[in-house]
Structure 1
Amino acid sequence: MALHGAHVMEWQPSSAPNPVLYLSPAAVLQEGKAIRGGIPICWPWFNARPGGQPGPSHGVARSQFWDLVSVTEDADGVTFVMSLVHESLKATATLALGDKLTVSLESENLGEESVKLSGALHTYLKIDEITMITVGGLAGREYLDTVGTPTRRTQDGPVVFEGELDRIFDHSGMIRVDDPGLDRVLQIEKEGSPSTVVWNPWAEKAAGLADLPDDAFKGFACVEAAIANEAAVELPPGATHRLGTTVSVAS
C-alpha cells in the first residue's frame, strides 16, 4: 500500500499461489509521479482535463499523497480509508484487502456548482503471457478503439492481444480474464462504472516508458473500471458518486 495515490501496489490472497497485481520493478516512488502498476486512481478526470484547462493526464489523485483516515482489521482482512480534496471535490478511497480485493472511490461535490466527474481504477493484472489470455464478458459491446485514428467498433468474441490494444467499452458488467498459463481466472466486478477500459502498450510503446522494462508488456493486462469521456457523471452540489472494482481469483 502507498499513501502516495491511495495506491494498492501488490495483492495476493493467501489462497492463491501467484500475485494478482503487476507492479513495475522500475516504478518511480516519488510525489508528483504516478506509480506504474498496481491500481492507480485516475481522478477527477479521465484522459485530458475537460474544457482545455491545465492539469495532468488522468487527474491529480495518482500523483499526490492522501490523508490516512483509518485502518481496521477483522476476519475478512484489512481495510484502509484515505481522503483527498481537489478544488470543490472530495475523494474518499476505501481499500479492502482480503480473499478479494475491493477498491471503492466515493466522490463528493463540496461546491455550489455542478461538476463533470470522470476517472478510472487503472488495474494492472499480472498474467503469464499476454498472447495467451482472453478477456470475456465484452462480446457484442461497442467500444472506442483509440489505437491510431479513434474508431467506434463492436467486439466480436473475447478480447485477445496481438499488438497494442486500447479500447474503451460501453459496459458496466462483470469481466473474466482467462489466464491458462497460471491455470486461473481473474474476475472483475464493477460498481458505478459505465465504461470498461482494456489496455496493453505492446513492445514499441513499452520501450518508450522509462518506468517499465521493455519486455514487461508480456506480463500484464489492464482491465479498468472507468467513467470515460462522454460517460462522465454530472455531480450536483452536495451529491456523491461511488466508483468501485472488486478483483477475485478462480481456478
Structure 2
Amino acid sequence: MQLPSSITQASRGSLDTLVLSNAFGRCEISLFGAHVLSYVPQSDQRERLWLSQSAIFDGISAIRGGVPVCWPWFSDNHGNRQEDLPSHGYVRKQQWTLNDCKDDDNGTAVTLVPQSVQGPGFDYAAQLKIVVHLGEQLSITLVTRNLGSEPFPLSCALHTYFAVEDIQRSELIGLKGEYLDKTRGFDTFSTPSPYRFTMETDRIHLDAAEHLTIQHPGGVTEVDSSGHNSIVVWNPWQDKATAMADMREDGYLTMLCVETAVTGDVSLAPGQTLALQQRIG
C-alpha cells in the first residue's frame, strides 16, 4: 500500500510502528496490538499519553501505557475461571495489519485489522477493526460487527493511560452517579466531588459520561467518548506499581487511566455493529 507523506514507518524495540504527522500533531501506533503509543498535538506540543519507561516491546508482552485495546472481553469478564483466559482478551497481543489509510484537510486516518478475531473463549463470526484519526483531536474507534446468525457477548475498552504531572494534584471532572469499586469487592459507592487521587483506584463508573476533563499542574486534557456504557478509572498506586516488572515504582505518580468501556453483560445481535470511540484533545 502506498503511504501518504504524513505516514512513516518506524520501530520500538522489535515492534513495527506507524508515525502519523501532520499540521494537527503527531502520533505513533504499534502494529503489535494496534496500540497507540504517543499523541502530541501541534497546538501545545504536550504529550497526552503516558508510556511506561519500563515498557516491554518484544512482540509477546502487552505494552504498559498508551492505549491498549481490550477485546472481546474487559478484565476477566469471559465466563471462565480467571486464570483460564488472558485478562482483557487477546487482540492486544496480536499483530495487526494496515488495511487502509487516508490523508486530507481534516487529518490523517489509518485502519488496522487483527490477525484473527477468534481465539480461546471466543469462536463467534465477527469483524473487528480500529480506526485512528489524527485531526483536531486524536480519535480512536474500535468497530465490532456481528457477522454470524446468533448474538454474542461482548465487553471491550480503550484502556487509555493519560500523562499527568502529579497524580496527587490531579482532578477528574465530569463523572457523577455511582461506581463499582474493585478494591472493595465491587461494592457500590457515590462518585466523589471533587474527584482526586490519594490511593489505589480501580472503579467502573456506571455513568457513561460523554465528556470528561483531566486537570493537573501540567495542563488540561479533554476526553470525549461514545458507544460506551461505562468509564473505568484506574491507578495502581505505589505497592502494585512496585510489583509490576514493566512499571517503575514511582510510575503511578505520572499516570491516570480513564477508559472508554463497554462493561457488564452486553449482547451484540446478528448484523449489529458497535463503534467504541474515544477522542482526546
TM-score interval (norm. to shorter): over 0.9
> Is residue 187 from structure 1 mapped to residue 217 from structure 2 by the alignment?
no
Letter in 1 for 2:56: V
Structure 2 SS opposite 1:222 = strand
Q: 1:104 aligns with which of 136, 141, 156?
A: 141
Does the Cα contact within 8 Å between 2:76 and 2:86 map onto a contact in 1? yes
> Is residue 221 from structure 1 mapped to residue 221 from structure 2 by the alignment?
no
Cα distance between partner residues in 2 of 1:2 and 1:109: 26
How far does the alpha carbon of each residue in 1:136-193 deviate from its partner, in whole angstroms, 9 at most, with x for none? 1113x110011142211111313210010111001222111111x11x2211111111
Match of 2:40 in 1: 12
Give 5+ residue unaligned stretches, structure 2. 1-28, 119-124
Give the root-mean-square deviation of aligned CA atoms: 1.4
Deviation at 1:71, TM superposition (A): 2.0
Letter in 2 for 1:130: I
Deviation at 1:49, TM superposition (A): 4.3
Match of 1:206 in 2: 241
> Is residue 74 from structure 1 mapped to residue 110 from structure 2 by the alignment?
no
> Is residue 242 from structure 1 mapped to residue 275 from structure 2 by the alignment?
yes
Does the Cα contact within 8 Å between 1:137 and 1:158 map onto a contact in 2? no
Report how many aligned residue pairs link the two structures.
Answer: 243
Letter in 2 for 1:103: I
Match of 1:48 in 2: 76
Structure 1 SS opposite 2:241 = helix
Does the Cα contact within 8 Å between 1:166 and 1:199 map onto a contact in 2? yes
Match of 1:152 in 2: 188
Deviation at 1:78, TM superposition (A): 1.8
Percentage identity across aligned positions?
Answer: 35
Cα distance between partner residues in 1 of 2:51 and 2:103: 24
Deviation at 1:50, TM superposition (A): 2.0
Match of 1:61 in 2: 91
Cα distance between partner residues in 2 of 1:112 and 1:33: 34
Does the Cα contact within 8 Å between 1:27 and 1:211 map onto a contact in 2? yes
Q: 1:128 aligns with which of 146, 156, 165?
A: 165
Cα distance between partner residues in 2 of 1:172 and 1:74: 32
Change (3 A) 1:113 1:4: same
Letter in 2 for 1:23: L
Q: 1:3 aligns with which of 21, 31, 40?
A: 31
Cα distance between partner residues in 2 of 1:195 and 1:101: 20
Between 69-78 and 153-162, report the one with greater CA deviation: 69-78
How far does the alpha carbon of each residue in 1:194-249 deviate from its partner, in whole angstroms, 9 at most, with x for none? 10001100000000111111101100101000011x2x32112222111010011x
Does the Cα contact within 8 Å between 2:77 and 2:155 map onto a contact in 1? no
Deviation at 1:32, TM superposition (A): 3.2
Cα distance between partner residues in 2 of 1:8 and 1:86: 19
List structure 1 segments (4+ residues) > 6 angstroms apart after TM superposition.
none
Match of 2:12 in 1: none
Does the Cα contact within 8 Å between 2:126 and 2:146 map onto a contact in 1? yes
Cα distance between partner residues in 2 of 1:110 and 1:71: 24
TM-score normalized with structure 1 length:
0.92
TM-score normalized with structure 2 length:
0.83
How far does the alpha carbon of each residue in 1:24-66 deviate from its partner, in whole angstroms, 9 at most, with x for none? 1211112332111110010110111422174210011111111
Structure 2 SS opposite 1:131 = helix
